[in-house]
Chains A and B, each alone.
Chain A
Amino acid sequence: MYMHLQDRDSKQRAVRAKVVNGQLHARAAGQRVLIIEDDDIVADLLAIYVSDLGYTNVLRASTESGAVAATAEFAPDLILADVRLGEGGDGINAVRLANKKTGTALVYITSHPQLTRDESKAVTLPKADLTGDRLAQAIEAALLIRFVQ
C-alpha cells in the first residue's frame, strides 16, 4: 500500500498525530515499536512522533544486522523501516530476515518508495512526505492490514 504524495506546502503539513480521523490512536499502550533507520535525524523524528502517539516501548536499529538482532530479542508489534541503510545494509532484507513473527505491522518510510512495490503486506510512506499525521495514518493502515491477515 502506498501513501500518495499530497501537497508540498509545509504550512499545511500539520504534525499533529494523536488523533486519526477524529479518534484517539488508542492501541499504542503496551505495543513494541522497532525503528530501523540509519539517519539519526529521521530516527529521532520518528521516535518523537510515535511517542506523541502514545507508544512508550520503542527500540532503534541502524543496520541490517542490528535490526535482525533487535527483532529477535524485542519481538516488535510494529516496525517502521527505512529501505536503504547506507553501509549498514538493506531495510527490506532486514525485515524479511528478521520478521518471523506473524502479525507484525510494517511501515516503510523511504525516499525510494518504488523499491517496496512488491511488499504487499506493508504500507509505504515516502520520506519527503513524513509528518506526524501521515505517519499515524500509515500506522493505522498497517494495523488494519495486520488485522485482516
Chain B
Amino acid sequence: MASDALEDRIRQIRLRLEGRLTDLIADLDAALASAPAGAAPEGAFDLYTRLHNVSGSAGPVGLPEVGDAARALEELLTPWLKGGPALDGWREAFGGLKAAVAAGSR
C-alpha cells in the first residue's frame, strides 16, 4: 500500500485535473458546435492537446474511465484536427466523456 503522504499528493493532482476537466468540456462543446462537420476551428490544436493530455493523465491519477473516454474521443477527432470532419460516433464519444467526468467527480 502507498503511504498516506504519497496518496495525498496524488489526490491533490487528481483534484487539479478534475478542475481542468470542466473547462475542457465547455471548450470542446463550443468548438464542436461551431464546426461539427467542417474545418477545425481556431484553437483546435490546443483543444486536442488538452484532450490528449487528459487521456494520458486521468488513469494514473485514479480516473481510468475518464482516460478511456478521452482516448476514444481523441481518436475520433484526429481527422477534425487535420481540417476534416470528425469521424462518425464523436457525439456519442463526447457524451461518454461527459458522463465519465460527471461520474468521476462524485
Q: Hey, which bits of chain A sit against chain B, CB under 8 A?
A: 8, 10, 14-17, 38-39, 41-42, 44-45, 48, 52, 82, 84, 86-87, 110-111, 127-132
Interface residues as binary, B15-58 with A (CB distance below 8 Å gives 1, 0 otherwise): 01100000000000000000000000000010001001101110
Q: Hey, which bits of chain B sit against chain A, CB under 8 A?
A: 1-3, 6-7, 9-10, 13, 16-17, 45, 49, 52-53, 55-57, 59-62, 64, 67-68, 71
- B2 interface neighbour in A15, A45, A111, Cβ under 8 Å: A15
Taking the nearest CB of chain B, how far is it from the CB of A90, in angstroms? Answer: 14
B67→A14 contact, CB < 8 A: no
Taking the nearest CB of chain A, how far is it from the CB of B83, in angstroms? Answer: 17
A45→B57 contact, CB < 8 A: yes
A46 to chain B: closest residue by CB:
B60
12 A-B Cβ contacts within 8 A?
A: A10-B62, A15-B10, A16-B1, A16-B3, A42-B56, A45-B57, A48-B9, A84-B52, A111-B71, A128-B59, A128-B68, A131-B60
CA distance A83 to B60 in the complex (A): 17
Q: Give chain B residues whose Cβ lies under 8 Å from the Cβ of A38.
A: 49, 53
Q: Give chain B residues whose Cβ lies under 8 Å from the Cβ of A110.
A: 56
A45→B13 contact, CB < 8 A: yes
- B45 interface neighbour in A17, A84, A87, A132, Cβ under 8 Å: A87
B60→A45 contact, CB < 8 A: yes
